[in-house]
A = this chain, B = another copy of it.
Amino acid sequence: MRGLFVGRFQPFHKGHMHAINWILKQCDELIIAIGSTQHSYEVENLFTAGERTEMIHQTLKASGIADRCIIIPVPDVNNHALWVSHLNSLVPKYGIVFSNNPVVKMLFSDVAVKVKDVPLFERDKYDGTKIRRRMFTKGDWKTLVPREVSGLIDKIKGIERLEKISKGDKL
């Protein structure tokens, strides 16, 4: 059975990794769909689709599960009524969706796709918004993401990018 897991992964963190490991106990393969890929260099959407793909791929590879996962960037479609079929055109066939988002769950249920909740792993710590806030306040964010992710963020000067964007007027 192939599962589907959707997220924005800004950035990919240990909570995500925990969920993926949990799912892979029940599925042979997992599609990891990266959402909102057209956004980047924004406070809420700091990293490009390519950078997020690299974060995930490097982490999965280091964990020895890269060949069981398929990472797919999915640009937003500005009409929720089209979202499922838009996503379906971009990803391989799957049998089950893993999500805790009520809208995602409703949209898949409306087309008779099975959806299952994912147990949250220390949600108060492992949360994209909180991690970006720690990045901004120079707090400890590195322990919240896989080593491969913090390495990449350092290499692309992600903290400096966030600082500049926070100060910047819009383009």
Q: Which residues of A contact B (CB under 8 A)?
A: 35, 37-42, 48-51, 53-54, 57, 60-61, 66-67, 70-73, 75-76, 78-86, 88-93, 101-107, 161, 164-165, 167-171
Contact = CB atoms under 8 A, between A and B. Distances in A.
Given A171-B76, A171-B83, A171-B104, A88 B164 contact: no
Contacts of A171: 35, 76, 80, 83, 101, 103-104
A50 B164 contact: no
A33 to B, nearest CB: 10
Given A71-B70, A76-B171, A79-B38, A54 B92 contact: yes
Nearest to A81: B89
5 A-B pairs with the lowest CB-CB distances in the bound complex, closest first: A103-B168, A41-B80, A54-B92, A66-B67, A85-B85
B70 A40 contact: no
A50 B70 CA distance: 11
Contacts of A104: 168, 171
Contacts of A66: 66-67
Contacts of A90: 37, 48-50, 53, 73
A50 B103 contact: no
A50 B40 CA distance: 24
Given A41-B81, A48-B81, A92-B53, A168 B101 contact: yes
Contacts of A84: 85
A89 B48 contact: yes
A73 B66 CA distance: 17
